[in-house]
Amino acid sequence: MSVASLSDFTAAPAKDKLPPVRGYWASVGNRLRYDYLTLFFLSVIAIIVLLAIFAPFIAPFDPTKSSMAYRLKAPGFRNFILGTDELGRDMLSRLLWGGRTSLLMGIVPVCLATLIGGALGVTAGFIGGRTNTLIMRTMDVIFAFPSVLLAVAISGTLGGGAKNGMLALTLVFIPSICRVAESATTQVRALDFVEAARASGGSTVSIIRTHILGNVLGPVFIFASSLISVSILLGSGLSFLGLGVEPPTPDWGLMLSTLRAGIYTQPLLCALPGAAIFITSLSFNLVSDGLRQAMDVKS
């Protein structure tokens, strides 16, 4: 074999022939790109969010303006596309504006609980010892109560209103998120690269920021995204019981409560806010399942 042929044989392949280097998030995006079910419901969520954001420009009528002459009219009556409620208010306008309140009741408590519960869980899992015992036993006491009863009790004690309802839901979700963050942190803390960072003199804050959070945020984010649908249902339930959003503010749960009197007259009107809650909760739940499968390294 000649020298030239030997050098050709041992030469590295050209750069354009090398396989592309893909990171973790690139692989997650690639898996999501072919998950058509998740993409479909993600588009449904995007549409619902956009309708809620632009409700002031899309809603044909004032959602709080009532007219007893037009109460409980069927869809298509005059200019009321989806009919009117028990006080003659436009259903389409109230559904659009109610989406704002219901989404806030679903997303804000989960975000706040993720920040607070995640911080407590990472602290308990990384430090351990008495700190872990104090934090986790406190979370266990709160977690022992059923979420629905706890939300009703807290909201009833604080009084009605959207802010108190969101605060009640935040307190309900903190223990479960804290337990997920603590479990993930405990597993990562025992790995070799964390021990190496400690041996090299890294501070606790730098180790958590550099080595712990990157491995803990994934499980916490997936679990928190699954709680949004639960938060929407619980927030609507609080409004239905009169412990959440107060009238005349549009809210899907409150609309279900006030339309009960007309269920035998216009059953379709009563089903509209329930359908909105169902579609939104289902969409968030299925998107959360798709994210969990896409972010699962083993699969």
pTM of the model: 0.85
Mean pLDDT computed over 64-70: 86
pLDDT for residue 232? 94
- At residue 90, the 3 state secondary structure works out as strand
Tell me the average pLDDT of the chain.
Answer: 85
Find out whether 273 and 259 touch, Cβ atoms under 8 Å.
yes
User: What are the extents of the domains in the chain?
Assistant: 26-294
Q: Tokens 């809603």: give the residue.
A: 59
Find out whether 127 and 213 touch, Cβ atoms under 8 Å.
no
How many whole angstroms separate alpha carbon 62 and alpha carbon 56? Answer: 9
Mean pLDDT computed over 231-236: 93
Q: What is the pLDDT of residues 178-188, one digit of tens each?
A: 999 999 898 88
**In this structure, what are the phi and psi dihedrals at residue 200, rounded to the nearest 5 degrees?**
-80, 0
Mean pLDDT computed over 106-124: 94
How many whole angstroms separate alpha carbon 117 and alpha carbon 39? Answer: 29
Find out whether 118 and 220 touch, Cβ atoms under 8 Å.
yes
The kind and range of the H/E element at 294 are helix 267-294
| Domain boundaries 26-294, CATH class | mainly alpha
Higher per-residue pLDDT: 124 or 18: 124
pLDDT for residue 20? 53
How many whole angstroms separate alpha carbon 193 and alpha carbon 199? Answer: 10
Find out whether 229 and 106 touch, Cβ atoms under 8 Å.
yes
Higher per-residue pLDDT: 292 or 169: 169
Higher per-residue pLDDT: 161 or 23: 161
pLDDT band per the 50, 70, 90 thresholds, residue 297: low
Other beta carbons within 10 angstroms of residue 197's beta carbon come to 16
pLDDT for residue 46? 96
